[in-house]
């Protein structure tokens, strides 16, 4: 964000606690000190209002980054995101653009219970006119956010609170001020031969961990990091399935109408169906509002053992 704020004067950040508090999760630390009140704006607790203000400012020539403290609160503002931002380019036949980024943590954390733990990938991923991104690694986060800010369209950028504290190795290339990751392209994080694991955000890490365990048994998994929920890179998934013949999807969100469900539908509609030796297995969050107690919460979300079991089931091992 710092690089993009420096690069383009029209970029600014608004949201609750983003300025003087340095960000609820410290993501915007140091920015207010550097850029001041004009460009880093603390808002009152008024999501519908400030999201609308952000969209309006984008319509009038600015490039806002609108932070939701978590995407759970974006539900208050969802009308502005969908009806005022996403649909406008189409409704105006290209006369009115809305270059805006909505970002914040998405999905569950730990111990924050039902109202603070929902994953919105499927809801936002459903809507034409939006680009929806879900980074996993630090490279993803940086490159995709820069791409999102530079994009002239509304982008929903789904971060993850639990990933904020995870350290990643970052390449030389990724440290450049112009390092941008293309929107709509998945990344193969790990090459494999026997089975394809597809995931986004935090669960990419789980897949890689599962793959490491399975590798010891000689099962080499290919792990794909979606990076982009919308547009969804089916080509990368299909090429991988053509090679491995087996597919498991992993996500933190609920199963019904979820990201995995969409992948299954598209696999079935596309060329990769003929390459499948087994049905696709979706590993998802449990279909319940998130409980609070640790044991309950831990068992409400995919665990590494769930991925391992699915792989073996798919491979009939």
Partner 1 sequence: MLLSVNSMQKMLTIISNVLKGSASKNVARVVAARTYADFTAEATFDVKKCDTHRLDDAPPTKSVLTREDALKYYRTMQVIRRMELKADQLYKQKIIRGFCHLSDGQEACAVGIEAGIKPTDHLITAYRAHGYTYTRGVSVREILAELTGRRGGCAKGKGGSMHMYANNFYGGNGIVGAQVPLGAGVALACKYLDTDQVCATLYGDGAANQGQIFEAYNMASLWKLPCIFICENNKYAMGTSVERSSASTEYYKRGDFIPGLRVDGMDILCVKEATKYAADLCRAGKGPIVMELQTYRYHGHSMSDPGVSYRTREEIQEVRSKSDPISLLKDRMLANNMASVEELKEIDVQVRKEIEEAAQFATTDPEPPLEELCNHIFYNDAPLEVRGTLPWTKLKSIS
CB of 151 to partner 1, least distance (A): 8
- CA atoms within 13 A of residue 236's CA, in its CB half-sphere: 21
User: Is 7 buried (19+), middle (13-18) or exposed (0-12) by CB count in 10 A?
Assistant: middle
Cα(311)–Cα(295) distance, integer angstroms: 24
Cα(132)–Cα(144) distance, integer angstroms: 10
CB of 12 to partner 1, least distance (A): 7
Alpha-carbon radius of gyration of the chain = 20
CB of 59 to partner 1, least distance (A): 5
189 as an active site residue: the answer is: no
* Active-site residue, selected from the candidate residues 17, 116, 126, 220: 116
140 SS3 class: helix
Residues forming the site for partner 1 (CB under 8 A): 12, 38, 41, 43-44, 46, 48-62, 79-80, 83-84, 89-99, 128-129, 131, 151-153, 231, 269-270
269 as an active site residue: the answer is: no
CB of 117 to partner 1, least distance (A): 25
175 SS3 class: helix
* Active-site residue, selected from the candidate residues 4, 16, 47, 159: 47
Q: Among residues 145 and 155, whose Cβ is nearest to partner 1?
A: 155
- CA atoms within 13 A of residue 50's CA, in its CB half-sphere: 22
Residue numbers annotated as active site? 47, 116
């Amino acid at each position: 964000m710092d690089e993009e704020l420096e690069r383009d004067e029209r970029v600014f950040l608004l949201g609750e606690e983003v300025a003087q508090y340095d960000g609820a999760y410290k993501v915007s630390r140091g920015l207010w000190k550097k850029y001041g009140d004009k460009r880093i704006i603390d808002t009152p607790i008024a999501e519908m209002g400030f999201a609308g203000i952000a969209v309006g400012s984008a319509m009038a020539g600015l490039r806002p980054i609108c932070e939701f403290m978590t995407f759970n609160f974006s539900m208050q503002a969802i009308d502005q995101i969908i009806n005022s931002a996403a649909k406008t380019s189409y409704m105006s036949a290209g006369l009115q653009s809305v270059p805006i980024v909505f970002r914040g943590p998405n999905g569950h954390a730990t111990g924050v219970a039902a109202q603070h733990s929902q994953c919105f990938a499927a809801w936002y991923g459903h809507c034409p006119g939006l680009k929806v991104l879900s980074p996993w690694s630090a490279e993803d986060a940086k490159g995709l956010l820069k791409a999102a800010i530079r994009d002239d369209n509304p982008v929903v950028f789904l971060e993850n609170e639990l990933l904020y504290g995870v350290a990643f190795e970052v390449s030389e290339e990724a440290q450049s001020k112009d390092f941008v990751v293309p929107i709509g392209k998945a990344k193969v994080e790990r090459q494999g031969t026997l089975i394809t694991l597809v995931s986004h955000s935090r669960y990419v890490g789980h897949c890689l961990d599962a793959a490491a365990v399975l590798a010891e048994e000689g099962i080499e998994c290919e792990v794909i990091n979606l990076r982009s929920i919308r547009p969804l890179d089916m080509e990368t998934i299909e090429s991988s399935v053509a090679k491995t013949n087996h597919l498991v999807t992993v996500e933190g969100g609920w199963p019904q109408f979820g990201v995995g469900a969409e992948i299954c539908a598209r696999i079935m509609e596309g060329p990769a169906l003929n390459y499948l030796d087994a049905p696709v297995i979706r590993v998802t969050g449990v279909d319940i509002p998130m409980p609070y107690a640790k044991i309950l919460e831990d068992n409400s979300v995919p665990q590494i053992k769930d991925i391992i079991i699915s792989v073996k089931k798919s491979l009939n091992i």
